Amino acid sequence: NKGFNFKYLFPISHTLFSDLCLILEHTYVDSDSIFFSNKNLPHYQRTVTIPVSLVWDCTDSLLNPSSVLKITLKGSIMKLSGAEINTLKFGNIGITYHHALDKEKSNVLSLNIHKKYIFGADIDRIPIDKRLYAGGINSVRGFANQLASERVKNTEITMGGKSIFEFNAELRRKINKDWGATVFFDGAR
């Protein structure tokens, strides 16, 4: 995978941010035909992607937020060459809420919900590296990256999908200035 990524981030206000990005990729995808009912997808593909995001963030701390809300809206258009489809459209809506359970902010409840989706093609026409997967530290903890996703029938192989719904809930307890503990529940579909 070879690529180039240019991103420009600009604040609209103290709590509202937006960014615009340009991503160019040249990818070789060597995957078993088990992933596709359509066997004629090319192995090489070039993509040009233009993602845009809008983030409203009122959280009180970057590393250990204890109050307020963060809303993320992302969208992107991807043009593919060397593939059977020409355009994919991606969308992502995310809401994160933090609530301190005491005045000292030693106990914090955090909720995170994300809905991601792809428009523009049937699943067997979407290149495998462009599909959506769950699993990993920022998704479903306890599963390796991309391994909490839908499996190919009668196998242990994850195939990815066109949409994902992720949910994370955690209770954080501050022990002292440098240490804390967390109990969490993660899920995805």
pLDDT tens digits along 139-149:
888 888 888 87
Q: What distances in angstroms separate CA 9 from CA 43, 63, 89, 165, one per listed residue?
A: 33, 20, 21, 26
Q: First CA to last CA across the chain, in angstroms?
A: 28
Provide the pLDDT for residue 152.
76
The stretch 15-36 carries a mean pLDDT of 73
d(CA 93, CA 113): 8
Provide the pLDDT for residue 153.
77
The stretch 100-112 carries a mean pLDDT of 92
Provide the pLDDT for residue 161.
87
The stretch 58-86 carries a mean pLDDT of 82
d(CA 120, CA 126): 9
Q: How many CB atoms lie within 10 A of CB 140?
A: 20
Q: Please tell me the pTM assigned to this model.
A: 0.77
Provide the pLDDT for residue 128.
77
Average pLDDT, the chain: 84
Band (47; pLDDT cuts 50, 70, 90): confident
124 phi/psi in degrees, rounded to 5: -75, 0
Place of tokens 């981030």: 9
**Residue 128 · residue 29 · CB < 8 Å:** yes
Higher pLDDT: 96 or 62? It is 96
Higher pLDDT: 150 or 8? It is 8
SS3 content of the chain, % helix, strand, coil (to 5): 5, 55, 40
**Residue 39 · residue 9 · CB < 8 Å:** no
